[in-house]
């Protein structure tokens, strides 16, 4: 694994899941001072220069990390499981249709329970089929579910858009899901 990918994975682990593992606290919005992050990483045996950090942020294929406007702080854009973070997203109107990529082995449970966020804070949805397919492939044989976001909005469900363009919602009951036929 190259240095950029390795550092990106380390940052995801710290900024989404286990900030306490290097003794840092994230604020409710997920931010931490870059100076503190790098110093604590160093103390735990992981040297990351500021220029490497910035290169990871800038080159990251999914724009997983966001730098604050003043340039002093960093956060993961989405995907959190740590209880330190509770981002107060602004609800926004989603496209009428969103997509969720998953693996065939989860389908039975999804039809029974709907989409649930599991350990993460939200269910992750995308506006396009290609992204959903790539997400599904991480878990096995991919299958794409079509989410009737328009009907969910009418029913009062809220949607949020992360810094990096991932659509988030708390859960998706099965009645709003449809198996996307490969011909569509
Ligand atoms: C499934 C990546 C059984 C769900 C991606 C998924 C994304 C159920 C898996 C981000 C279920 C959770 C998140 C139910 C949902 N029964 N299985 N009731 N409800 N599931 O990794 O959406 O590379 O936590 O379908 O691009 O795959 O990390 O979520 O298959 O944006 O930046 O449970 O992670 O981004 O898996 O991926 P995950 P996800 P990063």
- List the pLDDT tens digit at each of the 184 positions of the chain: 899 999 999 999 999 999 999 999 999 999 999 999 999 999 999 999 999 999 999 999 999 999 999 999 999 999 999 999 999 999 999 999 999 999 999 999 999 999 999 999 999 999 999 999 999 999 999 999 999 999 999 999 999 999 999 999 999 999 999 998 754 4
pTM of the model: 0.92
Residues sharing a CB contact under 8 Å with residue 119, sequence separation 6 or more, in sequence order: 81
What are the structural domains of the chain? 3-76 (1.10.10.970), 97-180 (3.20.170.30)
Strands 123-125 and 167-169, by their bridges, are: antiparallel
Which mutation among 10, 121, 138, 164 tests ligand 1's pocket best, with the greatest number of atoms within 8 A of CB? Answer: 138
Task: Count CB neighbours of 111 within 10 A.
Answer: 12
Nearest to 74 by CA among 41, 122, 107: 41
- For residue 183, the model assigns a pLDDT of 47
Rounded CA gap, 153 and 168, in Å?
Answer: 13
- Nearest atom in ligand 1 to 126's CA: 31
Eight-class DSSP state of 30 = S
Residues with CB under 6 A from ligand 1: 62, 64, 79, 102-103, 106, 109-110, 113, 115-116, 118, 120, 124, 135, 138-139, 166
């Amino acid at each position: 694994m190259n240095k950029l990918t390795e550092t990106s994975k380390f940052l995801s682990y710290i900024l989404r899941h286990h900030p306490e593992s290097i003794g840092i606290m994230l604020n409710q919005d997920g931010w931490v001072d870059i100076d503190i992050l790098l110093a604590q990483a160093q103390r735990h045996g992981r040297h990351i220069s500021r220029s490497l950090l910035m290169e990871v942020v800038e080159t990251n294929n999914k724009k997983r990390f966001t730098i604050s406007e003043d340039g002093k702080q960093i956060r993961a854009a989405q995907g959190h499981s740590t209880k330190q973070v509770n981002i107060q997203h602004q609800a926004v109107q989603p496209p009428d249709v969103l997509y969720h990529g998953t693996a065939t082995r989860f389908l039975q449970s999804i039809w029974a329970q709907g989409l649930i966020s599991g350990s993460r804070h939200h269910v992750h949805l995308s506006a396009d089929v290609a992204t959903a397919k790539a997400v599904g492939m991480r878990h096995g044989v991919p299958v794409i579910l079509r989410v009737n976001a328009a009907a969910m909005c009418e029913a009062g469900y809220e949607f949020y858009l992360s810094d990096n363009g991932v659509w988030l919602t708390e859960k998706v009951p099965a009645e709003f899901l449809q198996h996307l036929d490969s011909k569509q």
